[in-house]
Amino acid sequence: RARVGAGRVPAAMAMATEGVAAAESAAERFWKEDMTKMALGTRLLFVNDFAGAESVFRSGMMQERDVPKGEKEVRDLRGAFALQYALVSVIKGVASLADDQLDECLQRLWFAEELAGKDSEWLGKSVVRGIVTLVGGVIQCLQHSFVKGVYNVLKSWVWIKVLQSQALNYEGKEREVVRSCALLTLGIFNLLLSLLPSSMLRAATFL
Protein backbone atom coordinates (compact mmCIF):
# COMPACT_ATOMS: atom_id res chain seq x y z
CA ARG A 1 0.00 0.00 0.00
CA ALA A 2 2.85 2.38 0.77
CA ARG A 3 4.23 1.78 -2.71
CA VAL A 4 0.92 2.45 -4.36
CA GLY A 5 0.51 5.70 -2.40
CA ALA A 6 4.04 6.79 -3.24
CA GLY A 7 3.43 6.14 -6.90
CA ARG A 8 0.27 8.14 -6.91
CA VAL A 9 1.85 11.30 -5.47
CA PRO A 10 4.15 12.07 -8.45
CA ALA A 11 1.30 11.20 -10.81
CA ALA A 12 -1.03 13.58 -8.99
CA MET A 13 1.62 16.31 -9.06
CA ALA A 14 2.10 15.84 -12.79
CA MET A 15 -1.65 16.06 -13.35
CA ALA A 16 -1.82 19.22 -11.25
CA THR A 17 1.04 20.79 -13.24
CA GLU A 18 -0.71 19.96 -16.48
CA GLY A 19 -3.88 21.49 -15.07
CA VAL A 20 -2.09 24.75 -14.26
CA ALA A 21 -0.59 24.88 -17.75
CA ALA A 22 -3.98 24.22 -19.29
CA ALA A 23 -5.55 26.88 -17.08
CA GLU A 24 -3.13 29.49 -18.45
CA SER A 25 -5.02 31.29 -21.16
CA ALA A 26 -3.70 31.87 -24.65
CA ALA A 27 -3.61 35.59 -23.83
CA GLU A 28 -1.26 35.01 -20.89
CA ARG A 29 0.91 32.58 -22.84
CA PHE A 30 1.24 34.91 -25.84
CA TRP A 31 1.97 37.87 -23.55
CA LYS A 32 4.82 36.02 -21.82
CA GLU A 33 6.28 34.96 -25.16
CA ASP A 34 6.14 38.51 -26.49
CA MET A 35 7.69 39.98 -23.33
CA THR A 36 10.54 37.47 -23.50
CA LYS A 37 11.19 38.41 -27.11
CA MET A 38 10.90 42.13 -26.34
CA ALA A 39 13.38 41.81 -23.47
CA LEU A 40 15.86 39.97 -25.71
CA GLY A 41 15.67 42.65 -28.39
CA THR A 42 16.10 45.42 -25.82
CA ARG A 43 19.12 43.66 -24.30
CA LEU A 44 20.74 43.41 -27.73
CA LEU A 45 20.03 47.08 -28.37
CA PHE A 46 21.73 48.15 -25.13
CA VAL A 47 24.92 46.27 -26.06
CA ASN A 48 24.93 47.99 -29.46
CA ASP A 49 24.00 44.85 -31.39
CA PHE A 50 21.67 46.81 -33.65
CA ALA A 51 21.45 44.07 -36.29
CA GLY A 52 20.51 41.47 -33.67
CA ALA A 53 17.93 43.77 -32.08
CA GLU A 54 16.39 44.58 -35.46
CA SER A 55 16.15 40.88 -36.28
CA VAL A 56 14.28 40.14 -33.03
CA PHE A 57 11.91 43.09 -33.37
CA ARG A 58 11.29 42.35 -37.04
CA SER A 59 10.30 38.77 -36.25
CA GLY A 60 7.88 40.08 -33.61
CA MET A 61 6.21 42.58 -35.90
CA MET A 62 5.76 40.04 -38.69
CA GLN A 63 4.37 37.20 -36.56
CA GLU A 64 0.89 35.83 -37.23
CA ARG A 65 -1.08 33.93 -34.60
CA ASP A 66 -4.16 31.75 -34.61
CA VAL A 67 -6.17 33.07 -31.68
CA PRO A 68 -8.50 30.47 -30.12
CA LYS A 69 -12.18 31.25 -30.26
CA GLY A 70 -13.48 33.01 -27.18
CA GLU A 71 -10.13 34.60 -26.28
CA LYS A 72 -10.82 38.29 -25.65
CA GLU A 73 -7.62 39.47 -23.96
CA VAL A 74 -5.04 38.53 -26.62
CA ARG A 75 -2.94 41.60 -27.39
CA ASP A 76 -1.68 42.16 -30.92
CA LEU A 77 1.77 43.53 -30.16
CA ARG A 78 3.00 43.71 -33.74
CA GLY A 79 2.71 47.49 -33.53
CA ALA A 80 4.82 47.55 -30.35
CA PHE A 81 7.50 45.39 -31.99
CA ALA A 82 7.40 47.63 -35.08
CA LEU A 83 7.86 50.65 -32.79
CA GLN A 84 10.95 49.06 -31.25
CA TYR A 85 12.19 48.24 -34.75
CA ALA A 86 11.68 51.89 -35.69
CA LEU A 87 13.46 53.14 -32.56
CA VAL A 88 16.62 51.26 -33.57
CA SER A 89 16.54 53.25 -36.79
CA VAL A 90 15.85 56.44 -34.82
CA ILE A 91 18.98 55.90 -32.72
CA LYS A 92 21.09 55.40 -35.83
CA GLY A 93 19.37 58.31 -37.59
CA VAL A 94 19.88 60.79 -34.76
CA ALA A 95 23.53 59.73 -34.51
CA SER A 96 24.18 60.35 -38.21
CA LEU A 97 21.49 62.98 -39.07
CA ALA A 98 21.66 61.61 -42.62
CA ASP A 99 18.54 62.44 -44.64
CA ASP A 100 18.10 58.90 -45.96
CA GLN A 101 18.40 57.46 -42.46
CA LEU A 102 15.80 59.89 -41.10
CA ASP A 103 13.48 59.05 -43.99
CA GLU A 104 13.79 55.39 -43.06
CA CYS A 105 12.95 56.29 -39.45
CA LEU A 106 9.69 57.90 -40.54
CA GLN A 107 8.76 55.00 -42.82
CA ARG A 108 9.24 52.55 -39.95
CA LEU A 109 7.32 54.75 -37.52
CA TRP A 110 4.29 55.16 -39.79
CA PHE A 111 4.30 51.41 -40.44
CA ALA A 112 4.29 50.85 -36.67
CA GLU A 113 1.26 53.14 -36.40
CA GLU A 114 -0.49 51.13 -39.12
CA LEU A 115 0.13 47.86 -37.27
CA ALA A 116 -0.90 49.36 -33.93
CA GLY A 117 -4.20 50.36 -35.48
CA LYS A 118 -4.99 46.67 -36.04
CA ASP A 119 -4.85 45.88 -32.32
CA SER A 120 -8.01 45.72 -30.22
CA GLU A 121 -8.98 48.78 -28.21
CA TRP A 122 -6.96 48.85 -25.00
CA LEU A 123 -4.60 51.24 -23.25
CA GLY A 124 -1.44 49.75 -24.75
CA LYS A 125 -2.65 50.71 -28.20
CA SER A 126 -2.83 54.35 -27.12
CA VAL A 127 0.69 54.11 -25.70
CA VAL A 128 2.13 52.86 -28.99
CA ARG A 129 0.26 55.35 -31.18
CA GLY A 130 1.20 58.23 -28.88
CA ILE A 131 4.91 57.34 -28.92
CA VAL A 132 4.91 56.79 -32.69
CA THR A 133 3.34 60.20 -33.38
CA LEU A 134 5.53 61.95 -30.83
CA VAL A 135 8.80 60.49 -32.14
CA GLY A 136 7.66 61.03 -35.72
CA GLY A 137 7.19 64.72 -34.95
CA VAL A 138 10.69 64.92 -33.48
CA ILE A 139 12.19 63.31 -36.59
CA GLN A 140 10.32 65.77 -38.82
CA CYS A 141 11.76 68.65 -36.78
CA LEU A 142 15.25 67.20 -37.32
CA GLN A 143 14.47 67.25 -41.05
CA HIS A 144 13.57 70.95 -40.69
CA SER A 145 9.88 70.25 -41.38
CA PHE A 146 9.07 72.27 -38.29
CA VAL A 147 5.38 72.88 -38.86
CA LYS A 148 4.63 69.21 -39.54
CA GLY A 149 6.91 68.15 -36.71
CA VAL A 150 5.38 70.42 -34.08
CA TYR A 151 1.91 69.49 -35.29
CA ASN A 152 2.61 65.78 -34.76
CA VAL A 153 4.20 66.40 -31.36
CA LEU A 154 0.99 68.15 -30.32
CA LYS A 155 -1.20 65.59 -32.09
CA SER A 156 0.37 62.83 -30.00
CA TRP A 157 -1.48 64.32 -27.02
CA VAL A 158 -4.68 62.77 -28.42
CA TRP A 159 -3.34 59.39 -27.24
CA ILE A 160 -0.92 60.47 -24.53
CA LYS A 161 -3.50 62.41 -22.49
CA VAL A 162 -5.28 59.19 -21.48
CA LEU A 163 -2.06 57.86 -19.99
CA GLN A 164 -2.03 60.41 -17.19
CA SER A 165 -5.47 59.42 -15.97
CA GLN A 166 -5.55 55.70 -16.79
CA ALA A 167 -2.10 54.17 -17.32
CA LEU A 168 -0.54 55.06 -13.98
CA ASN A 169 -3.20 53.06 -12.11
CA TYR A 170 -3.66 50.35 -14.72
CA GLU A 171 -4.40 46.83 -13.43
CA GLY A 172 -3.77 43.63 -15.32
CA LYS A 173 -0.97 41.42 -16.59
CA GLU A 174 0.29 44.34 -18.67
CA ARG A 175 0.55 46.76 -15.71
CA GLU A 176 4.35 46.89 -15.43
CA VAL A 177 4.90 47.59 -19.13
CA VAL A 178 1.99 50.01 -19.53
CA ARG A 179 2.90 52.05 -16.46
CA SER A 180 6.63 52.35 -17.23
CA CYS A 181 5.99 53.28 -20.90
CA ALA A 182 3.38 55.83 -19.84
CA LEU A 183 5.75 57.54 -17.39
CA LEU A 184 8.52 57.72 -20.00
CA THR A 185 6.16 59.03 -22.69
CA LEU A 186 4.62 61.70 -20.45
CA GLY A 187 8.08 62.85 -19.41
CA ILE A 188 9.34 63.13 -23.00
CA PHE A 189 6.18 64.92 -24.13
CA ASN A 190 6.35 67.55 -21.39
CA LEU A 191 10.08 68.07 -21.96
CA LEU A 192 9.60 68.61 -25.71
CA LEU A 193 6.66 70.92 -25.11
CA SER A 194 8.75 73.08 -22.79
CA LEU A 195 11.49 73.38 -25.44
CA LEU A 196 9.23 74.45 -28.33
CA PRO A 197 9.16 78.16 -29.23
CA SER A 198 5.76 79.77 -28.79
CA SER A 199 5.75 80.76 -32.49
CA MET A 200 5.86 77.09 -33.50
CA LEU A 201 3.06 76.22 -31.12
CA ARG A 202 0.89 78.95 -32.61
CA ALA A 203 1.65 77.82 -36.16
CA ALA A 204 0.71 74.24 -35.37
CA THR A 205 -2.69 75.21 -33.98
CA PHE A 206 -3.80 76.39 -37.44
CA LEU A 207 -3.32 72.92 -39.01
Distance CA 90, CA 101 (A): 8
Residue 65 CA to its chain's centroid (Å): 18
User: Tell me: the pLDDT tens digits for 98-149?
Assistant: 778 889 999 999 999 999 998 988 888 988 999 999 999 999 988 889 889 8
The rounded Cα 27 to chain-centroid distance in angstroms is 16
pLDDT tens-digit map of 12-47: 444 444 444 445 788 899 999 999 999 999 999 999
Q: What is the pLDDT of residue 133?
A: 93
- Distance CA(130)–CA(167), nearest Å, equals 13
Instruction: Identify residue 162 by its one-letter amino acid code.
Output: V
Which three-class secondary structure state does DSSP give residue 104? Answer: helix
pTM for the model stands at 0.77
Q: What is the distance, to the nearest Å, from the Cα of residue 91 to the centroid of all Cα atoms in its chain?
A: 16
Per-residue pLDDT reduced to its tens digit, 45-57: 999 999 999 999 9
Q: Give φ, ψ of 116 to 5 degrees.
A: -60, -35
**CA dist., res. 116 & res. 124, Å (int):** 9
> Which residues are CB-contacts of 141 (< 8 A; sequence separation ≥ 6)?
149, 150, 153
The CA angle 76-123-170, to the nearest 5 degrees, is 120
